[in-house]
Amino acid sequence: MTSLIAAAVLGQGTPTIRSLVQDDLRDLSFTARVASSNQAELRKINPDFANSYRFSSSQVWLKEPFKLRLESTVDDTKIFFILNGSQRTVRVPRAGISQREDLSKAPGKRQTPLDFGLLTPSLFQDYFVAKFVRTETRGEFQGDHVFDLTYVARLDDTTRHRVWVDPTTKITAKREWYSQLGGHLMAVFTYDQVREVSGVWIPTRLTVRNADGKVAGATTYAGVKVNSGLADSLFEAR
């Protein structure tokens, strides 16, 4: 079986990242629910990442290009995270907090479709550069195309992501996150329970492991809607 896959890969030529992006995905919304979390293991990734798992659920809206809105509730207090391009706004109306930050030189702080197991065209338009590594010929991710993703030079960030992309569904089945300083492995993400919604394949479960290989947390996506026509005003900082 391995030799047959290798022969097929050689016959197809080198895959390109352009052939693996979700061209038909214009917008996406869902409820993200924490299915499990281990703060001790999450903190081994980093404290900010661990804190993100303190929200038991969040409403998520994504729109191309680079628009994201998250709404979470903690102790009856609503928190809004809005990303529009490189501008991020954090609002806590009950506490009178509204903070805006320009992340144009801090791409590592920007959440994108990649965080949810998806590759979209905007990610490769002056943001990421993709380098083909190999096609897996054995194991759990057999047949997936493997790429290294690095930020374009102008962003001045040496963080690297290695992704395993299913060529049929175009889902990022696995992602390894390597740090900017020293290139150390930070975490490994796997995306599964894939569903087709309005002609687009979407993973509905994310599991994260730290560099020790310990499961640190898991999140499920429910109520998934694709290309519902989200208004741009949803992503305005108000």
Q: For position 191, which CATH number holds?
A: 2.50.20.10
The number of distinct structural domains making up the chain is 1
> What is the rounded distance in angstroms from the CA atom of residue 112 to the CA atom of residue 67?
8
Q: What is the full DSSP assignment across 40-88?
A: HHHHTT-HHHHHHTT-SEEEEEEETTTEEEEEEEETTEEEEEEEETTEE
DSSP 8-state class, residue 169: T
Rounded CA-CA distance 51/61 in Å is: 20
Structural domain containing residue 28? 2-235
> pTM of this prediction?
0.91
Interval 99-144: pLDDT, tens: 999 999 899 889 999 999 999 999 999 999 999 999 999 999 999 9
Query: Would the CA dihedral through 119, 120, 121, 123 be positive or negative?
Result: negative
Q: What is the pLDDT of residues 142-195, one digit of tens each?
A: 999 999 999 999 999 999 999 999 999 999 999 999 998 889 999 999 999 999
Q: What is the distance between the alpha carbons of residues 64 and 112, in angstroms, rounded to a whole number?
A: 10
pLDDT tens for 157-170 read 999 999 999 999 99
DSSP 128: E
Asked if residue 167 has a cis previous peptide bond (ω within 30° of 0), the answer is no
Q: How far apart are CA 89 and CA 87, in angstroms?
A: 7
